Amino acid sequence: ERFAVLKGYRGMKIGEHLLAHCLDVVNDEPYVYLHAQIQVVDFYAKYGFKKEGPQFEDAGIQHYKMVLVRE
């Protein structure tokens, strides 16, 4: 449901590898969505995800729904 990289390991491309693996697992899905915390919206945007809908709060943290549409 959620994944994160511990602060001490950030900047080591671990998040990129986790995301790539998750996207490989759902490779046949034309539509992928996630709920991104505000501070990582740009990270997901680099991989083609786009914000969809209004900002919302989950567990006291602001998020955006982000979608990746594959052709």
Domains and CATH numbers, the chain: 7-69 (3.40.630.30)
CB atoms within 10 A of CB 63: 17
Whole-prediction pTM value?
0.88
For residue 16, pLDDT beyond 80: yes
Q: What is the pLDDT of residue 71?
A: 83
What proportion of the chain, given as a percentage, has pLDDT over 70?
100
CA distance 13 to 1: 20
Which has more pLDDT, 3 or 55? Answer: 55
pLDDT per residue over 25-40, tens digit each? 999 999 999 999 999 9
Rg, the chain, Cα only: 12
Determine the length of the chain: 71
